[in-house]
Chain A
Amino acid sequence: QKEVEQNSGPLSVPEGAIASLNCTYSDRGSQSFFWYRQYSGKSPELIMSIYSNGDKEDGRFTAQLNKASQYVSLLIRDSQPSDSATYLCAVFTSGTYKYIFGTGTRLKVLA
């Protein structure tokens, strides 16, 4: 089992729809969770961080964390073609002091 798993996609959604991106992690001791967006050929750009169970909203983005299910998700409302990118989930675990990225989910927003 991979430490951080994401569906590689591509996930295709029409413009204006909600895109839902999922990430699961294996270490129950993980405590910090991050979503990054990476355009092709560019470096990752931080979108959101979340540290406690529940939802965290920032503009069109909502991160959701469920530690009991070891699951973190990112919702993108009113998706735009400019949101088309690879979305990386990253998890930090203090016990092992590891910061691990998933392989990313490629999102395509269709105009």
Chain B
Amino acid sequence: DAGVTQSPTHLIKTRGQQVTLRCSPKSGHDTVSWYQQALGQGPQFIFQYYEEEERQRGNFPDRFSGHQFPNYSSELNVNALLLGDSALYLCASSWDLATEAFFGQGTRLTVV
């Protein structure tokens, strides 16, 4: 049973560029959540997708957007990258936001 997979694992982008991160949920899960984790901090909730719609959103600007596909996989897009966007981006899948979430290995984004 494949767990949650994310790609790429590492990424370096220049300030002002755009980036797309990808996530495939654990088999049987239909809900995907995205988190940003800065060094030394806990994961911060960005948003959650269910049935191809954004169901909940944390305190992140509109530069952060996402999408969920019919096979439940998801993308996180970040536009106009800032240096402060450098972080570990985590995708988690679950049956529902209220239940246990299983994380992918993360994408380490560095903005220079």
Interface residues of A (CB under 8 A from B): 4, 31-32, 34, 36, 42-46, 49, 88, 90, 92, 94, 97-104
Contacts and interface: CB of A to CB of B under 8 A. Distances in A.
The 5 tightest CB contacts between A and B, nearest first, are A101-B42, A43-B103, A43-B106, A103-B42, A101-B43
Contact of A46 (B33, B90, B98, B102): B102
A28 B23 CA distance: 33
Given A97-B97, A99-B101, 4 more contacts: A32-B99, A34-B101, A99-B45, A101-B35
**Chief secondary structure at chain A's binding surface:** strand
**Chief secondary structure at chain B's binding surface:** loop
A92 B105 contact: no
A99 B33 contact: yes
B56 interface: yes
A98 to B, nearest CB: 7
B110 to A, nearest CB: 14
Contacts of B106: 42-43
B71 interface: no
